[in-house]
Structure formats: C-alpha cells, structure tokens
Amino acid sequence: MTKMLVATQNEHKLKEFNKILNHEQIKLVSLKDLNDKDDVIEDGTSFLENATLKACYFAKKHQMITISDDSGLVVEALNGRPGIHSARYSNGGDHENNLKVLKEMENMENRKSHFVSVIVLCYPNGRVKSYEGKVFGYLAQSERGLNGFGYDSIFYVPEYQKTFGELESSIKNQISHRANALKLLKEDIDEIVNNK
C-alpha cells in the first residue's frame, strides 16, 4: 500500500480525489489527517507554478509522495479572471466569490468560461509530474444548486442543461476539470506505486 499525501485542508477536494482515484494500492491522506496547518504562499503566476510550490513543499516536509491541485474558473469576458485567484477572489467564501463574478458579468453577452485543474505529483526527491484537465461551459445568470463547492453553482454545462451545483456528484466526478486531470494521473498509478 502506497500512502500519498493530498496537500489540502479542503474535505470536499479530498472526497473528490478519493472517489476519482479509487485505487486499492493507494491510501490518500490529507494535511488535516497529519494535523499540518502549514500554509504555502501560492505566489506563482500560473496554476502549474502554484500546484508545484505546494506539492514539493509538503513532499519534502513529510517525505511522502504528494499531490497538489491548483484549479480555478477562467471567464473569457473577464480576461481570464478569476483564474489563479479563484479561491480568494472576493476575500470572502464561495458565495461571495460567486456574487462578485456574477456582478462583474452583469450585461455581458459572452458567458463562455472553463474550469482548469492542474495536478502536480512530487516525490520526496523533488521529481515532479503534472497533469492538466479542463471542462468548458458557460456562466449561469445566478447561483443554482447546492451540490459541490467553489464556483459549481454558477458554472453551467450545456450537455446536461444544469450547473455543476445541480449535477449529481457521480456525474460531476466523471466530467469535471479535476476528474480529467486525475484520469491522466491514474494512468501513471502503476508506475507511481512501483517506483516510489
């Protein structure tokens, strides 16, 4: 059994990782499980840089294979905002972030947006691999649905005619940006398990 650290305090994220990765040879633990409240300053200029900073810091600290995800919402009409600032866009919580984006999008016709997730896997020796996933959709006019977290309630997926907040988690976990990145990571699981 290979233990892997997911560099997050976010229980929603850990739940998603567990559901999507779901591998009998891997046990995922979070920073919460290790009682590690350390915070890494994510001052990179891209999702990749931020995920790498976090994964490598905790891989070295705990001498454990670590995966970190940096993800966010990219809105075409807002020149890519909130982007890498998604989590702290309003300096409030998820609801405040959603309201800020919706306010900025008032009267905007182009509502194209996409979610990006970059997952970085870092070994204790500093070796790094990265995986990127995206999902495309549109911004809803208002918050809809209580499932998920982050910007899920304002991200509309035309194929399902629902926001991520209205989708069952079983469907979201097949089509989301994080799912797409984790599927790529999953392809490397055997190599990860055998080359610790």
Hey, where are the domains in the chain?
Answer: 2-194
pLDDT score at 196: 56
What confidence tens digit (pLDDT) does each residue in 62-105 have?
Answer: 999 999 999 999 999 999 999 999 999 999 999 999 999 999 99
Given the residues 70, 94, 188, 190, select the one marked as catalytic: 70
Q: What is the mean pLDDT of the chain?
A: 93
Annotated binding residues for Mg(2+), written as ranges, equal 70
Phi, psi for residue 68 in degrees, rounded to 5: -135, 145
Q: Which CATH class is domain 2-194?
A: alpha beta
Strand stretches in the chain, DSSP E? 2-6, 26-30, 66-75, 112-122, 128-139, 155-157, 162-163
> Does residue 189 or residue 8 have the better pLDDT?
8
Q: What span, in angstroms and rounded, lies between the C-alpha atoms of 102 and 98?
A: 6
What confidence tens digit (pLDDT) does each residue in 174-190 have?
Answer: 999 999 999 999 888 87
- 70 is an active site residue: yes
Classify burial at 69, counting beta carbons within 10 Å of its beta carbon; exposed 0-12, middle 13-18, buried 19 or more: buried
